[in-house]
Amino acid sequence: MKTVIKDAKVRGADGKETLKNINIVDGVIESISDEITLSGPKIYDAGGKYALPGFIDLNCNICDPGYESRENIQTISQSAAKAGFTSITCSPLTSPVIDNKTMVMYIKDKAKDLSAVNIFPYGSMSKEGQGKEMAEIGEMYSAGIVGVSDGNVSICNANLMRNILIYSSMFDLPVITFCENPELAACGVMNYGTVSTVAGLIGKPREAEETYIARNLILAKHNKGRLHITHVSTQESVEIIRYAKKMGVNVTCDTCPHYFTLSENKVDGYNTFAKVNPPLRTVTDIAAIIEGLRDGTIDAISTGHSPTFVENKWSEFDKADFGISSMETAFALCYTTLVKTGVLTIWQLAEKLSKSPAKILKLNTRGEISPGMDADICIIDDKKEYRINAKSFESKAKFSPHDTDVVTGMVTATFVSGNLVYSLA
């Protein structure tokens, strides 16, 4: 099958932006040239818009199996396609938990049948996600996981965490850790601080995140293994990771758009749409996260998409579910906050969303637009200004703390292996 993406703005070898044609044969980029080199291809006219490598989400809950009424493989795949994500990973904390090769195969098979985008499963690092015994990491590796993860429940047992890091090095798998000390986070529902004081809500202190990040970094420093820290949300977390990287710790990390676009003040009026985990922090943290993205301390941006029922948000703040529908707002928020303001160039943003995640997950044929790579590409209208409308989400979770916000940057088409899986009507 031959496809050509015509007149796409790409980055040439000299780093300058030029309009080129991307020639695709059987899902692989054959060449990027001034001419259309293929005979009789399907032609997609990009009309001078940006072609970026399809985004890769390091952190996403697809809720399938077990919680399909919140989200399922079909809806998340449509949502991802619309958002420009050509590959997503999935949290292992489904029901049952993805902690064995059968479950890995189930996800892969189901994704093959129903998903328009690539779904790369994570395996739970502990059996049943309980944080007590190591799961069969090798078996799952053979079945095709791209990393081991704790979902969003940290491993409290430091010895187990250490052993998982060491053991998984046999497969060179990234160990994706969500860092939150449950004893410190306890029954907190938002950030601990001045805003929680006024709201009378119980806060999760930032130390809950930072102590576990520090612990995991020290474990990674002294042992083999590839540590990845997800959902970085505080200033000190960024600083600790920056220091660790200087020390030579083998670590990568990511944050989510809501941690550099929203502060804890979004909770005002008991706005449950702003109830996420880790909680939204302060303006100072936002600045530190943005600086971390700029100086490369933070390698990647994941969506942290964690759908729930909107009905579970229509309640008292304490009772409401944590969760955010952040897939379809991800690119626009990144573009508006990071590129439009000059913190990153669009190509640097593409690295955070595509190349870095591809490297972390060792998806060697993805994350870049160049000959020989998989033709996972999204087309971006960088001028398009619009209002976020949560009701129009493809995701089942049709709500957002950003609803009605005006943003810039829209995904207008998405290709997975050269196939058009989404195009703006």
Partner 1 sequence: MDLSRKDFIALKYMSADEILHVLDTAETMKYLLDKKNKKAPHLNGKSMILLFYEPSVRTRLSYEMAGQFLSASVVNMEVSTLPENGGNLKEMGPLIDQMGVDFIVIRHPMSGSAELLAKYSKASVINAGDGLNENPAQSLMDLLTIRSHKKDFKGLKVTIIGDVAHSRVSRSNIWGLLKLGASLTISGPPTLIPPGIEEYGVKVCKDAREAATGADVIMSLRLKSERQQANLMPSQNEYRNFFKIDEEMLKCANKDAIVMHPGPINRGIEISTKVIESERCLVDDQITNGVAVRMAQLYILSLGNAKRETEGKK
User: Is 423:412 a contact under the CB 8 Å cutoff?
Assistant: yes
- Nearest Cα neighbor of 173 from 369, 362, 421, 366 is 362
Judged by CB under 8 A, the residue of 315, 341, 364, 389 near partner 1 is 315
Say whether residue 314 binds partner 1 (CB under 8 A): yes
| 203 contacts partner 1 (rule: CB under 8 A) | yes
318 part of the interface to partner 1, by CB under 8 A:
yes
CB of 190 vs partner 1, minimal distance in Å: 10
Window contacting partner 1 (CB under 8 A); options: 115-123, 299-307, 308-316, 343-351: 308-316
Selected from 201, 244, 334, 349, the binder of partner 1 by CB under 8 A is 201
Nearest to 330 by CA among 368, 300, 359, 309: 300
Interface with partner 1 includes 102 (CB under 8 A)?
Answer: no
Question: Where do runs of H (alpha helix) occur along 93-206?
Answer: 101-114, 137-143, 158-168, 182-185, 194-199
Name which position in 269, 342, 391, 425 contacts partner 1 (CB under 8 A). Answer: 269
Closest among 106, 109, 136, 108 to 123, alpha carbons compared = 136
DSSP assignment of 291-326: HHHHHTSS-EE---BB---GGGGSS-TTTSPP-B--
- Binding of residue 386 to partner 1 (CB under 8 A): no
Nearer to partner 1 by Cβ, of 105 and 199: the residue is 199
The binder of partner 1 chosen from 18, 130, 194, 341 (CB under 8 A): 194
Binding positions for partner 1, 340-369, rule CB under 8 A: none
Nearest approach in angstroms of CB 267 to partner 1 is: 10
- As beta bridge partners, residue 85 has 55
Give the distance from CA 308 to its chain's centroid. 17
Cα 232 to Cα 178: distance, rounded to the nearest angstrom: 9
The 3-state DSSP class for residue 245 equals: helix
Task: Give the residue with the Cβ less far from partner 1, 163 or 265.
Answer: 265
279 binds partner 1 (CB under 8 A): no
* Separation CA 164–CA 128 (nearest Å): 15
What binding mask, one character per residue, do residues 5-44 give for partner 1 by CB under 8 A, x or -? ----------------------------------------
For partner 1, how many residues bind (rule: CB under 8 A)? 19
The verdict on 316 binding partner 1 (CB under 8 A) reads yes
Instruction: Point out which residues bind partner 1 (CB under 8 A).
Output: 192-194, 196-203, 269-270, 314-319
